[in-house]
Structure 1
């Protein structure tokens, strides 16, 4: 079952990771999906706290370069 997380919950998770707690242990303790938390982290790194407020319209890529 899908569980929604509000901004405060997401910010709390990201703050714990930034302060040095490993993603794996945060996910285990809070029963979170590791890939979801990684997506939150990528959005936080790119958009700051605003990236944790919404979930629908954020686009990011892991590619290092674009081939034309």
Structure 2
């Protein structure tokens, strides 16, 4: 199996999907929280804070993008 390939089986796969759903729900309700849970405090977190302050929808879009792209 090539390096960097992650194979999830059984419960691990379900837990990963469940965590992603929780992050997306949080990203819709409180975008910075969803980003924080995905990447921690870093550039994406601060950018999301700024986008959420400037407009709630851009914050949501950015948060969902960060969660979906990881």
What interval of TM-score do these two structures reach, taking the shorter chain for normalisation?
0.3 to 0.5
Structure number with greater Rg is 2
**Larger proportion of helix:** 2
